[in-house]
């Protein structure tokens, strides 16, 4: 049975200086790259999601175009497909990525499971096709898209680990709450150094 890494939304707009920059985002990108370099061949597949929003509409109400964002369901314009903000952060080594996933194309999307591959397949279908049972989750942001992606992986019957040293969150209290929720739901909450 296969093992996969989920790299969630390590994009310019979600790191320092971006439209929704998360403190520690760039450092997380660097650590993820170093982790992959230290464990070549450990993963059968490396999935990497990116928000890839439309630039000519509010993406189903996801963008706050008529007022101030509430940072719960409405957000500033971010990760518009084809722009610098939507690209992977330069510190992330993209060579190991085998399954790129785009999400939020015209609609709100948080979990990687809401995205599709280049040929239009869902992440759930890809996991079944590839025989992936074990999933490790890293990326941005702990309290939003990492949380949603890990919860969905659990709901799809996978064994899930979240590496606390390879994520970055919007806020410490909500990130701690998200990790606690994931642990309660059945995920292992560990540091990547547990692999040795």
* Cα distance between residue 53 and residue 75, in whole Å: 12
Look at residues 33, 127, 19 and name the one whose alpha carbon lies nearest to residue 69.
19
Asked if the model's pLDDT at residue 102 lies above 80, the reply is yes
Asked if the model's pLDDT at residue 196 lies above 70, the reply is no
For the annotated catalytic residues, the residue numbers are 9, 103, 145
DSSP secondary structure, 81-147, as one string: TTSGGGSBPTTS--TT--EEEEE-SSS---SGGG-B-TTS-BHHHHHHHHTEEEEEEEEE-IIIIIH
Pairing state between β 159-168 and 132-140? parallel
What predicted TM-score, i.e. pTM, was given to this entire model? 0.96
> Which CATH code for domain 2-195?
3.40.50.850
Give the model's pLDDT for residue 1.
76
Other CB atoms within a 10 A radius of the CB of residue 5 amount to: 28
Q: At 174, phi and psi to the nearest 5?
A: -70, -30
* Cα distance between residue 72 and residue 63, in whole Å: 11
Average pLDDT over residues 11-17: 97
Quick one: CA dihedral 100, 93, 91, 174, positive or negative? positive
Asked if omega into 53 is within 30° of 0 (cis), the reply is: no
Give the model's pLDDT for residue 65.
86
* Cα distance between residue 196 and residue 193, in whole Å: 5
pLDDT digits 0-9 by tens, 28-62: 999 999 999 999 999 999 999 999 999 999 999 99
Give the model's pLDDT for residue 67.
85
pLDDT digits 0-9 by tens, 62-97: 999 888 999 889 999 999 999 999 999 999 999 999
* Cα distance between residue 11 and residue 30, in whole Å: 12
Average pLDDT over residues 106-131: 96
Contact indicator for 48, 101 with CB cutoff of 8 Å:
yes
* Cα distance between residue 150 and residue 63, in whole Å: 24
State the chain's mean pLDDT as an integer: 96
Domain ranges of the chain: 2-195
Give the model's pLDDT for residue 72.
85
pLDDT digits 0-9 by tens, 141-171: 999 999 999 999 999 999 999 999 999 999 9
Contact indicator for 77, 9 with CB cutoff of 8 Å:
no
């Amino acid at each position: 049975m296969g093992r996969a890494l989920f790299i969630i939304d390590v994009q310019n707009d979600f790191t320092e200086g971006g439209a929704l920059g998360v403190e520690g985002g760039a450092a997380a990108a660097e650590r993820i790259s170093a982790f992959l370099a230290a464990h070549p061949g450990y993963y059968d597949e490396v999935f990497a999601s990116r928000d890839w929003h439309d630039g000519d509409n509010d993406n189903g109400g996801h963008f706050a175009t008529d007022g101030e964002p509430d940072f719960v369901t409405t957000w500033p314009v971010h990760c518009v497909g084809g722009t610098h903000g939507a690209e992977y952060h330069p510190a992330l080594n993209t060579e190991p990525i085998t399954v790129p996933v785009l999400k939020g194309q015209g609609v709100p999307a948080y979990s990687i499971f809401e995205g599709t591959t280049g040929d239009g397949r869902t992440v759930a279908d890809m996991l079944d096709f590839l025989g992936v049972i074990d999933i490790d989750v890293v990326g941005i942001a702990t309290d939003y898209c990492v949380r949603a992606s890990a919860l969905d992986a659990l709901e799809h019957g996978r064994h899930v680990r979240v590496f606390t040293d390879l994520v970055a969150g919007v806020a410490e209290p909500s990130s701690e709450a998200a990790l606690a929720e994931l642990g309660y739901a059945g995920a292992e909450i560990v540091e990547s150094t547990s692999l040795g």
